[in-house]
Amino acid sequence: MHTAATNQLVLYDTTLRDGAQGEDIHFSLSDKLRIAKRLDEFGIAYIEGGWPGSNPKDFSFFSQVKSLNLKQAKIAAFGSTRKAMLAVEEDQQIRLLLEAQSPVVTIVGKSWLLHVLEVLRTSEKENLAMIRDSVQFLKSHGREVIFDAEHFFDGYKSNKEYALQCIKAAEEAGADFIVLCDTNGGSLPWEIGQITSEVCSSCKVPIGIHTHNDGELAVANALWAIKSGARQVQGTINGYGERTGNCNLISVIANLELKMGQKVLPDGKLKELRELSLFVDEIANVRPNPKAPFVGRSAFAHKGGTHVNALQKLLRSYEHIDPALVGNHRRILVGELSGKSNIVLKAKELGIALEENNPNIQRVLNKIKELEAKGYEFESAEASFALLLRKLLSPYPSFFHLLEYHVSIRQLPSKNYKVCEATIKISIHGERVYTVAEGDGPVHALDRALREALVKFYPAIGQLRLEDYKVRIIDSTEGTASSIRVWVESTDGKEIWSTVGVSHDIVEASWLALFDSIEYWLLKKTENG
């Protein structure tokens, strides 16, 4: 009797184990617990928490995750089959798998003869015994056991009989799922499809799929395996993982639910997809990929005037799905190619009603042209554009007045030390505020001084963070001297927005970009309550 329901397709997340093996991904214990909780709330069926045999942090995860009282997800501990020529009950790594006390244990084993002989340096027979003993032992301790057949597709291609013997050994020993792994990530979708369907027809145990993205095919490969009979799909949020990453569960989920008619999430959860993606990036301290399909900020961004015009008539014309289904939204970009349609749609996005024949539209277009000639670029600085529109179409009172600012750089070559100091004087609600702050450069120093000046009046400004900035020298079409464009990206932990400032002077350009960033946040905050 298998523990898993055989016909229901289930999601298996390995962000905390395989995903954590990605370059630059580091999770603390509390990071891992927060992610596990979020994945459970989202409706992921299995959460692989780590490898208890590999480090103490992973081991403590399993004791602490119990106190989270997860609603529905099953926690899986990950390990490998027993060592060669060692009794299973004497294998320390297997013992730790039991001590983790997770309801599910996933063990990886060899199914490619080349690895058995050359890497493990053991015999064909011993490897089969290792699989059988390990699965049986864990089953006898009441665990749901998932067997990951490592390098299965490569193994199957080079020695089909032996690869099948490996998974038969796991099946006979009572495994609840057998997962076919494209460990090196080099297989093609049709190969995965054919092999998966051959395996499905010869096994009674439900089959799962675990793919890597080395050929940029991890998602396609997983979907094809599902179409060919796989009932479990393994992957990571945002495709984190070693080398080029694992199968991205975000894209898998969206495709399954929206394109393949496969329900894998509880009702109403799909629209949290973007939020989940951003949440995990935030914890991992990874900059969200703007081009991420479905959830990236550019996923539904439209720029070309003809596209925007067509979108106004029929949204379907240039969008493969309604962005709201996955919690994303449409963005109309403005810039040189802008026509009146872009302005109308953009204004609508900002909650400003505007008819196409409104004479103010021409004013906006003229202003954009004028600023672009100076070196402004609004395509990647939407918040500055939103403010520009608001100022021209429905003005709002200013939040504070700048009286003066000053930036100086102090060099102490003997100490190899360089610091930027900014002072700011502003007037706010009739009060004069004067602050000084240090930073790594003018943008950083001004940002700190400005926020310090405002924190008394807007305490929530403490959540605001300068995420990134770029300084660029540009040739403006005005002739004369070249200008400097400063681009700033800010976040309050929930939203990310970008602003821009242009001047002949780097300090002024920095100030303009920062001013827009803070003003944008204040405006949104006061309007959304």
CB of 160 to Zn ion, least distance (A): 22
Q: Return the closest-CA partner of residue 21 out of 45, 60, 51, 56.
A: 51
Comparing CB distances to Zn ion, the nearer of 247 and 345 is 247
E strands of 306-400, at which residues? 331-332
Comparing CB distances to Zn ion, the nearer of 21 and 60 is 21
CB of 183 to Zn ion, least distance (A): 6
Conformation bin of residue 151: beta by default, left when phi > 0, alpha when psi is -120 to 50: left
Question: Residue for token digits 């393994």?
Answer: 234
CB of 17 to Zn ion, least distance (A): 9
Comparing CB distances to Zn ion, the nearer of 51 and 511 is 51
CB of 234 to Zn ion, least distance (A): 8
Comparing CB distances to Zn ion, the nearer of 185 and 327 is 185
CB of 339 to Zn ion, least distance (A): 47
CA angle 448, 452, 458 (to 5 degrees): 125
Write the DSSP symbol of residue 438: E
CB of 106 to Zn ion, least distance (A): 11
What is the C-alpha separation between 135 and 494, in angstroms, rounded?
Answer: 44
Q: Return the closest-CA partner of residue 225 out of 265, 171, 182, 189.
A: 189
Options 10-18, 214-222, 360-368, 419-427: segment touching Zn ion (CB under 5 A): 10-18
Comparing CB distances to Zn ion, the nearer of 179 and 387 is 179
User: CB atoms < 10 A from the CB of 442, how many?
Assistant: 26
Q: Return the closest-CA partner of residue 109 out of 134, 142, 89, 91.
A: 134
Question: In 3-state terms, what secondary structure has residue 81?
Answer: coil
Options 14-22, 51-59, 256-264, 456-464: segment touching Zn ion (CB under 5 A): 14-22
CB of 34 to Zn ion, least distance (A): 23
Options 17-25, 265-273, 310-318, 383-391: segment touching Zn ion (CB under 5 A): 17-25
Per-residue binding letters, 382-401, with Zn ion (x by CB under 5 A)? --------------------
Structure tokens at 395: 């003005």
Q: Return the closest-CA partner of residue 163 out of 181, 145, 177.
A: 181
CB of 128 to Zn ion, least distance (A): 22
Comparing CB distances to Zn ion, the nearer of 106 and 499 is 106
Options 16-24, 107-115, 135-143, 152-160: segment touching Zn ion (CB under 5 A): 16-24
CB of 210 to Zn ion, least distance (A): 6
**CB of 109 closer than 8 Å to CB of 166:** yes
CB of 150 to Zn ion, least distance (A): 8
Task: Show contacts with Zn ion in window 400-439 (CB under 5 A).
Answer: none
Alpha helices in 301-339 (DSSP H): 305-313
CB of 258 to Zn ion, least distance (A): 26
Tell me the pairing of strands 331-332 and 301-302: parallel
Comparing CB distances to Zn ion, the nearer of 235 and 296 is 235
Question: Does the footprint of Zn ion cover residue 91 (CB under 5 A)?
Answer: no
Comparing CB distances to Zn ion, the nearer of 97 and 247 is 247
Options 13-21, 45-53, 284-292, 478-486: segment touching Zn ion (CB under 5 A): 13-21
Comparing CB distances to Zn ion, the nearer of 18 and 382 is 18
Comparing CB distances to Zn ion, the nearer of 252 and 361 is 252
**Which pairs count as long-range contacts for 438-443, CB under 8 Å and 24+ apart, including other chains?**
442/407, 442/506, 442/507, 442/510, 443/469, 443/471, 443/486, 443/488, 443/510, 443/513, 443/514
**CB of 408 closer than 8 Å to CB of 421:** yes
CB of 108 to Zn ion, least distance (A): 8
E strands of 188-249, at which residues? 207-211, 232-235
Structure tokens at 261: 């008619």
Options 11-19, 167-175, 271-279, 517-525: segment touching Zn ion (CB under 5 A): 11-19
Structure tokens at 345: 């749609």
Question: In 3-state terms, what secondary structure has residue 421?
Answer: strand
Comparing CB distances to Zn ion, the nearer of 18 and 176 is 18
Options 15-23, 130-138, 185-193, 311-319: segment touching Zn ion (CB under 5 A): 15-23
CB of 166 to Zn ion, least distance (A): 17
What is the C-alpha separation between 241 and 237, in angstroms, rounded?
Answer: 10
The count of C-alpha atoms lying within 13 angstroms of the C-alpha of 412, restricted to the half-sphere facing its C-beta, is 4
Per CB under 5 A, the list member of 9, 15, 18, 109 interacting with Zn ion is 18
Question: In 3-state terms, what secondary structure has residue 104?
Answer: strand
Conformation bin of residue 178: beta by default, left when phi > 0, alpha when psi is -120 to 50: beta
Per-residue binding letters, 33-72, with Zn ion (x by CB under 5 A)? ----------------------------------------
Comparing CB distances to Zn ion, the nearer of 150 and 519 is 150
Count of positions on this chain that bind Zn ion (CB under 5 A): 1
What is the C-alpha separation between 379 and 389, in angstroms, rounded?
Answer: 14
Comparing CB distances to Zn ion, the nearer of 195 and 507 is 195
Binding site for Zn ion (CB under 5 A): 18
